[in-house]
Structure 1
Amino acid sequence: MRRKERLYALIEVLRRGGPHRAEDLARRFGVSLRSIYRDMDTLAASGVPVEGTRGQGYRARAGVTLPPLVLDEAEVEVLHVALAVMAGAQEASLRDAAATLAAKIEEALPEEPGRRAEGFGLATYPFDAAARGGAHLPRIRAAIRARQKLRVRLDGGGGARVVRPLKLDYWGRIWTALAWDETAADFTEIRVDRIEELAVLPQLFVDEPGKRLRDHEARGAG
């Protein structure tokens, strides 16, 4: 597994709870402890809400509070994505503004044990290209609301798949879309930044047992 893919996989592990000991993560991914430490440093530097406690392991942190504002998840998502997009703008003035805004937000954050002091809004490798998936978000959201099927093709090869979009999620630096994959006849989680082609189909779908969001949640709870 390449390091970039391992970092995304670590995010998925952290999303599902914790804490996770570095030794267990190293064994799971077949790498050294030093590699796990470096990976966690990279995640934290890129703004992924992760913290480590000696003797307990790594876990995901709670949401961010900016005084005097309390941000919900959607608002934090907007800040992350907007700053990431502007940091890659062609105009130097926009890039500079994104950097200074990220710095101002960072200054306003409360001091918390274990919180890294750099890079709230601007991603470092390997998440610097993740914002490109943002262009797909409006259509995916609209398809979820309208219960329209999507045809999706991801990078890295493979053919197009027809899916029923059920939920959008954002954690740290990546957007994912939970869907029922009609091609594979199973639930799938799609990294939005990996979508090469996306088409909204005229076909609508209705709730069917085994293919609903609550069915996926029940599977996870079991």
Structure 2
Amino acid sequence: MRRADRLMDLIQILRDGTLHKAEELARRTGVSLRTIYRDMETLAASGVPIEGERGIGYRVTAAITLPPLNMTMLEVEALHLGLLAVSRADDPDLAQAAHSLSRRLEGVLPEDRTRTPDGFNLAVYPFAEASKGFQHLPFIRQAIRTRQKIMARIGDKRQTLRPLQLDYWGRLWTCIAWSETAKKFVQLRLDQITAIRALPGLFVDEPGKSLEDYWDQHAAGDHSQSGSSDTNGRK
């Protein structure tokens, strides 16, 4: 398993908010304890809000806060898109201000405090190009709202998808979807999408393909259905 795939699997395990021992994480991903410790450090450094330490356990916290503000997912999305747009402006003063604000915000977003802030678009490996996915946020959010099927291309592979939910993991955005191509739930990394378009027709909930079904499978520990960053259906 590629490291990026394993890190996505770890996020899926930890996202239930409960405490997971490092031994359990190592067993479920088939790696050593030392590898799990390194993976936890990498995820934290990438901005994933992880709490815990060796010998106690780890969990992902859901809250995203900017003291003294509590931010909604939609507000974080707007913040990302706004900073990205301004940072690419022709006005050098505005672009510089966007980068400066990004660094200031990095100081209060959940992350590894030992790391020098690099800005929203410079998350630590393996999510260094996370900002590429920001452009797809409005389109996918609209597709989720209207129940619109979409076609997404990742590399040279295309999938027909029913987008169900957007998630944010420390500057990395993902989308839970039912893949009609792979016939299972997948977890898309938005930064890996190279092209996306709407397809004719809408979708309705069907047994085994809804967001509720995804969470039922996740609660049951069936992570083989939740997918990883390999969204082409390979394990």
Shorter-normalised TM-score: what interval? 0.7 to 0.9
Amino acid paired to 1:17: G
Tell me which residue corresponds to 2:174.
176
Contact 2:47 2:169 in 1 (8 A): no
Corresponding position: 1:204 with 2:202: yes
Normalising by structure 1, what TM-score? 0.76
CA shift for structure 1 position 130: 1.6
Query: What root-mean-square deviation, in Å, do the aligned CA atoms of Structure 1 and Structure 2 show?
Result: 3.3
Aligned to 1:53: 53
Contact 1:176 1:192 in 2 (8 A): yes
Distance 1:145 1:57 in 2: 36
| Unmatched tracts of structure 2, length 5 or more | 221-235
Following superposition, the deviation at residue 177 of structure 1 comes to: 1.9
Tell me what 2:151 maps to: 151
Higher relative contact order (CA 8 A, sep 6+): 2
Helix, strand or coil at the partner of 2:194: strand
| Distance (Å, rounded) in 2 between the aligned partners of 1:9 and 1:82 | 30
Once residues 218 and 8 of structure 2 are traced to their aligned partners in structure 1, the CA distance between those partners, rounded to angstroms, is: 20
Contact 1:153 1:198 survives alignment (8 Å): yes
> How far apart, in 2, do the equivalents of 1:138 and 1:61 lie?
25
Q: Which runs of 4+ in 1 moved over 6 A?
A: none
Which residue of structure 1 lines up, in the alignment, with residue 6 of structure 2?
Answer: 6
- Unaligned regions of 5+ residues in structure 1, if any? none
Distance 1:21 1:88, change over 3 A: farther
The alignment partner of 1:19 has SS state of: coil
8 Å CA contact 1:86, 1:94 repeated in 2: no
Q: Give the aligned length.
A: 216
Alignment of 1:68-147 (within 5 A): 68-80=68-80, 85=84, 89=88, 96-106=96-106, 109=108, 116=113, 118=115, 119=117, 121=120, 122-147=122-147
Provide Cα deviations, 1:84-111, integer angstroms capped at 9, x if missing partner. Answer: x47985977666534432343355x49x
Contact map agreement 2:87 2:96 (CA 8 A) in 1: no
Identity of aligned residues (%): 52
State the alpha-carbon separation in 1 of the partners of residues 75 and 114 from structure 2.
20
Determine the structure 2 residue equivalent to 1:35.
35
Deviations 1:100-144 (A, max 9, x none): 32343355x49x9x9625437441222120221222222222222
Amino acid at match of 2:72: D
TM-score, with structure 2 as normaliser: 0.73
User: How far, CA to CA, are the matches of 2:46 and 2:88 in structure 1?
Assistant: 18
